[in-house]
Structure 1
Amino acid sequence: MRTLIHKWNKVSLVQRILLGIIVGIALALSIPNATGISIFGSLFVSALKAVAPVLVLLIVMSAISKHKKGQQTNMKSILALYGLSTFLAGLIAVIASFMFPVSLSLVTGASDLTPPEGIVEVLKTLLFQVVDNPVNALMNANYIGILTWAILLGIVLRNAKDSTKDMLDNFSDAVSQIVKWVISLAPLGIMGLVFDSITANGLSSLLDYGKLLFVLIGCMLFMALVVNPLIVYLNIRRNPYPLVFHCLKQSGITAFFTRSSAANIPVNMRLCEEMDLDADTYSVSIPLGATINMAGAAVTISVLTLAAVHTVGTEVDFGMALMLSILSAVAAAGASGVAGGSLLLIPLACSLFGISNDVAIQVVGVGFIIGVLQDSFETSLNSSSDLLFTATAEYAKKRKEGKDFVIKI
């Protein structure tokens, strides 16, 4: 048995995950009533969500406490890349929605949802997340609050004794090892998630929304395969596709099935370590990206909002379309990093065009119907971009400094 496990661990994680996908599909088609299989997926996602807040707190505290004065990070560049990508995603979604206008058959069933009333409420919520109680932030996976406390404690602990810093480092390494154990169970978890997705939703229920899915997924693929590579090329002046495909394969696949940017934080942290990226940077940029780098969410908000606009027959001029691009980018930064987090921001964008909340909530209901695919592609784009832009900023810095660099993939 030990030899078998050793051989299994020698197979690359991506290949093991692909095997889990195949087995999950086969089980869903052959024994769809075996509901116990789906528990593997629930346990895997729960384990990732459980370990991620502790990992972020400890690894950020440890990295900042050991940070030496004068040592530069790439956070400004990464934030600029996050913002540019999210805005362009909203703009492309708006253009695509005018090229391929979609009207909806509105549904009910989402009347119990309470979307934010305006962009001020979204920003207010973000500010209150910053000053959240640290224990409450950990319990509720509030990564803005966790990052704030980790950064402040890390700064204060820069003056602590080396023994204290070493203890923090040991705890950080210990939690990182637990993360590796959890991620090694990804094939079983993905198998359960695939089984649950197919047996619970199926694909036939999505046929009525084919055109809407075409626009949504088309925009996200355009961002992942055209816009993001262009951004990377302009920064590193090298063929971007090896790095882009590496991020999509290693990070995007797990994010596709977990459908949670927050749950994918440990995966991206491990990948940054394997790529030899600067720990002082990625320990902050990855959890922060899971909160604010939301190109996929910007696409969802823009496309579904304009679908509502086309359904009610409202005329939209260029100025309003540009405003929607900006609003969707800002609102996307306030979307929670969990499954379906962007959908509740659609009524906020709909209010820009005077669309009633009753209609907007029905559009949210449509979003939940197609969420089995829409949210998977959205999370895959969001989370893989966190890794992509963190790596891009580091390689761009080395290029500007005239240093030779190797993209380790």
Structure 2
Amino acid sequence: MKAVVEPLEGNRVKLSVEVDEQEFEQALDAAFRKMAHDVRIPGFRPGKAPRRVLEARIGADVARREAIRDSLPEFYAQAVAENDVQPIAPPEIDITAGEEAGPVVFDAVVEVMPEITVAGYEGLRVTVPGVGASGEEVTAQVERLRQQHGELKAVNRPAKDGDHVTIDLTGYRHDQPVEGLNAEDFMYEVGTGSVLPQLDDELRGAKVGDILKFNATVGDGEDATIQVLVKDVKEKELPEVTDEWAGEASEFDTVAELEADIRNRIDLVKKFQTQMALRNNVVDALVELVAVDMPEPLIGGEMERRLHNLAHRLSSQQVTMAQYLEGTGTTQEELIEQLRTEATAAVKADLALRAVAVAEGIEVTEEDLDNEIARMAERMDEKPDKVRKQLDRADQMPAVRSELRNSKALEWLIEHVEVMDEEGNPIDRADLTPESSEPHTQEES
């Protein structure tokens, strides 16, 4: 088989393919074997009639048409693979010779993966959150630990936000109790709004022995009468921040050691968060540099993939698409528009990363591929050789190579991009590397 690729306008190519008579003869044999099972010929069992008998019975032209129809997709796929063509849409095929005799010749016009250039990727600048723990963040964590070790003590005064009150709560409608709104000796922190918003308003200023009665809209959307008996009011007494308290509340002997550990843990978390933000922001900045329109087949395919993934996730949660739309307050048109926006950005990112890889000469080595297959095998709990065979059979190895190449292009960008904090100050990449993979622990963290 011979194939010639001719570039056309509109991001298309024409594959001119010629299949010689000897190679096409194999397709003819396959067509006759197939037809032998469908044609009843006296004296022969189904599938056992020889080719010459079938040819005399049904005619060589019928078998040839069948062979062309069945074999053309395979010859087209072979020509695509041998010429490194990357189709993104079904081809338009025109048979130009060989329908009656001789070599089979056909043209296949197909839209292919575009190759773009991205001007300005070398000078990308991205903004990420700062990586250092602030004094306010450390103080907030110390305060959280104090709250956990506070003691509740009864007070003889009206309740206020932050107090813990013990109440009997009864909800009823037409003298009938409302399910879920009846509790005795229920301890509630004033100001949290965790039961009913009106409850906090009524409890503020209430004293032990007060009986409160008010109407409120409850969980079923209907109004109910709520009655509350205040039985106890307590405030939380927080421990002083001393070395003695630090020793009791944590594994550290001093407040300074405790605060240093908190700072280290916040730093570590922020570094991981900033690393993720850096990757996402680099991709977003790269996408902004892509000025050309994306091919509709690529956008449509990505939309379909995302919709399939969403439907699969919803199905695993036993949620229908209609329930999802209703729950999120989204119309079908809005969902489609959202998917289109996300898909367009994803396609731009893919093509832009390919462009960076080409411009910087980034390639995927066999070692890279072996390591990726080993990681996939570990995730799948399979042997690498088995995973490789599965990828080969499914013709997925080119996709794996492409994803690896894009990943290496992204790593190149991350290494060369200018990184700034939210105040416009440069960030040293060394500050984004965690010094240890695990933070220190403390009993109450």
The TM-score, its normalising length taken from structure 1, stands at 0.21
**With CA pairs under 8 Å and 6+ residues apart, which has the higher RCO, 1 or 2?**
1
> Rg larger in 1 or in 2?
2
Structure with more strand by fraction: 2
